[in-house]
Amino acid sequence: SDAARPSSAEKNFRRQVASGPRLQDFIKSPVTLAVNCEHTDEHYLSEDLGLLGDGRKVYFETYGCQMNVNDTEIAWSILQKKGYQRAADLNQADVVLLVTCSIREKAEQTIWNRLQQLTAMKKKRLKTNSPMKIGILGCMAERLKTELLEREKLVDVLAGPDAYRDLPRLLAAAAGGQQASNVLLSLEETYADIMPVQHASQGRSAFVSIMRGCDNMCSYCIVPFTRGRERSRPVSSILEEVQMLSDQQGVKEVTLLGQNVNSYRDTSEVQFCSSERTKLSRGFSTVYRAKQGGLRFSDLLDLVSRIDPDMRIRFTSPHPKDFPDEVLQLIAQRQNVCKQIHLPAQSGSNQVLKAMRRGYTREAYLDLVDNIKQIIPDVSLSSDFISGFCGETDDDHQQTLSLIREVGFNVGFLFAYSMRKKTHAFHRLQDNVAPQVKQRRLEECISVFREEAERVNSAVVGSTQLVLVEGESKRSAEDLCGRTDGNMKVIFPKEDVAVQACVSNTAPIRGGDYVLVKILSAGSQSLRGRALSHSSLRSTATPSCDGYKCKILVGG
C-alpha cells in the first residue's frame, strides 16, 4: 500500500546514511588525539596509536597520605600492563608522575617548587633525543587543573584520583606534543579489578584500599571535593588481594585503607542489601541521611582477619562516628586485629567542633574513648588535631590541651589550620586566627602531646611485647626496629635469639619476623628493649625463659 512506501524525504535520509562515514572511518582515522575528556567529540583515537608504553620509563614521586602510595601502586599497575617500565632514577625517566596532596597549603607549595625544578630539567632535555614529560596525579590535579594547565603551563598530563585508567591515553597525547587532562570524579570507581603492584619491603607489610571518597563534609576538609563521594570496593576483590599478599608475598601485616575506612558499606551484591540502617557511635551524627543495607566494616574486618591468623590487620583512617560496639568487640576478640585505634578528635572545644561540622561533642568523644577502653582494655589510641581553626579562642585551645591530657594518646598528627578553597569554611567562615597564634598553639599542643605520650609509653616498661620486625634502625646498623601491636616503634640490639621461648637453639632476626622483646625504656616516640626469642601471632600466650624459670607472657 501507499502507506508502506517510503516518502521522498525518507529515501533521501537513507541515501545520506548509506554514503556517510562508517565506524572504521573513525577508528582508523589518523587525525590528532583527543586530549581533553571534556572535548572528546573533536577528534578520534587511532586503533594503533601509541597507547602502549613501548618501554618508556616512568618515575613516580609520591607525596601526602598512604592513600596516595596506594594510588601510585594502582597507576603503576595500569601502566606496567601497557608496556611501560619503572625508572629507579629520575635521570632515566621519560615520564615523571607526581602523585600529589591538597590537604594543606604547605603540601601544595612543595609540589609547585618541585615542578619548577622538573621544568628546568625538562628544558635541558629538549636539547637531547630523550624529551621528558611531566604529569600531576591525584588531589592537586583535580583542585588546580586550570592553574596547572593554562596559567603555569608546567605539566603535560593531569589525572585526577578517579582517572588513572585513562593514563595510557593521556600519556599518548602528551607524547604527541599536546597537554592532556582527565580530572572527572566518579560515583563508582574503586579500581576493584586492578591489582596494585605492592612494594612491601621484604614481605613485611602492605596496604589495601577498601573504599574511596568521603561524605562527611567537615567544614575544613578538601577531600570530598578532590576525591568525591564515598564508594566501597566489593568485598570479594579485597579478600582476593589480601589472600594473594599472604600466599604469594608472605606479607605479615595488612593495613586497610580509606578516607573514612570504617564507613565501608559494600552493596555490590543483592544479598548484602537490606533495610537495616547504619549504626553510629552513641552520641554521634552525620550531615547526610542514614544509609541502609550493605556489608559493613565489622563484616569485612571479620572476613579479612580469618585469611591468615599470623597476619596483623590494621586500618586507617577512620571517623569516630563509625565505631559501633560490634566493631570494637571484634577488635577485642581477634588476636590478629591490632588493638590500636586512630580516633581523630581535631579539637577539644564544642564550639570549634560545631564549626568544623564534626557531628559530635567533646562529651560524646570522651564517652566513646571510655567505651573503647572498657571493651579493649589494652588499646593504644592515636589522634589528629588542628590548631587555630576559624574562630578558635584561647579558651577553645585550652580545652583541646585538656582533652589531650585526659585521653592519653601515644601517637598524634597535629597541624596548624590551612584554609582550602571549595570547602564550607572557605565560603562561610573567617580564617581569623593570626598565623603566629596558630603556630604558638600548635607548639603547645605538640608539647603536651609528647608529655602524655611519654607517660603512656612508660607504662609498658618492664613488659614483653610481640614485635613485627621492620629491619635495621635508621640511626644504627647495630640495632633493629619493629612495631608492637599498638603500633609503637621499638628499637633493640641486632643479635641472634632463641628460635622459640625456652629453647637453646638460636637464629638471626630478619625483617618480617615476629620476636618477643622485653621493654627496658620509653620515650615519647619510641621504646627500647632487648629481644628474647622468635615467636608468632598464632598463640595468645607464649612461654618465655627467665633464668631457670619459665613464665607466661602475653604477646602484643
**Residue 264 within any structural domain of the chain:** yes
Residue 269 confidence (pLDDT) above 90: no
pLDDT digits (tens, 9 = 90+) for 24-46: 544 444 333 334 444 433 344 44
The pLDDT of residue 85: 95
**Residue 197 within any structural domain of the chain:** no
Choose among 78, 171, 68, 70: nearest CA to 111: 68
Question: How many domains is the chain partitioned into structurally?
Answer: 3
CB 556 within 8 A of CB 339: yes
The pLDDT of residue 542: 40
CB 415 within 8 A of CB 376: no
Query: Domain of 527: which CATH number?
Result: 2.40.50.140
Q: Are 266 and 171 members of one domain?
A: no
The pLDDT of residue 549: 33
Mean pLDDT confidence for 375-404: 98
Q: Are 250 and 397 members of one domain?
A: yes
What is the Cα–Cα distance from 336 to 253, expressed in whole angstroms? 9
Residue 405 confidence (pLDDT) above 60: yes
Query: Domain of 278: which CATH number?
Result: 3.80.30.20
Name which of 20-24, 310-314, 458-462, 511-515 the model is least confident about: 20-24
Task: Please give the mean pLDDT across all residues of the chain.
Answer: 87
The pLDDT of residue 488: 96
Q: Are 473 and 455 members of one domain?
A: no
- Global confidence as pTM: 0.83
Q: Are 308 and 452 members of one domain?
A: yes
**Residue 7 DSSP one-character state:** P
The pLDDT of residue 259: 92
**Residue 23 within any structural domain of the chain:** no
Query: Domain of 138: which CATH number?
Result: 3.40.50.12160
Mean pLDDT confidence for 302-326: 96
**Residue 187 within any structural domain of the chain:** no
Name which of 120-134, 205-219, 297-311, 460-474 the model is least confident about: 120-134
3-state secondary structure 67-105: HHHHHHHHHHHHHHHCCCEECCCHHHCCEEEEEECCCCH
**Residue 528 within any structural domain of the chain:** yes
Mean pLDDT confidence for 64-80: 92
Q: Are 395 and 329 members of one domain?
A: yes
Q: Are 415 and 279 members of one domain?
A: yes
The pLDDT of residue 323: 97
Mean pLDDT confidence for 245-270: 93
Q: How far is the first Cα of the chain from the last one, in angstroms, to the nearest whole number? A: 89
Q: Quick one: what percent of the chain has pLDDT higher than 70?
A: 86
CB 233 within 8 A of CB 192: yes
Name which of 76-80, 197-201, 519-523 the model is least confident about: 197-201
Q: Are 325 and 426 members of one domain?
A: yes
3-state secondary structure of 121: helix
C-alpha dihedral sign at 156, 161, 162, 164: positive
What is the Cα–Cα distance from 278 to 240, expressed in whole angstroms? 26
Name which of 2-6, 13-17, 484-488, 491-495 the model is least confident about: 2-6
Burial class (CB in 10 A: 0-12, 13-18, 19+), 363: exposed
The pLDDT of residue 23: 52
Please give the residue that has the higher pLDDT: either 521 or 545. 521
Q: In which domain, by residue range, is 493 found?
A: 463-534
Q: How many CB atoms lie within 10 A of CB 280?
A: 19
The pLDDT of residue 547: 34
The pLDDT of residue 290: 86
**Residue 18 within any structural domain of the chain:** no
Cα→Cα distances 542→502, 517, 533, 554, Å: 10, 12, 10, 6
Cα→Cα distances 382→20, 106, 225, Å: 66, 23, 26
Residue 541 confidence (pLDDT) above 50: no
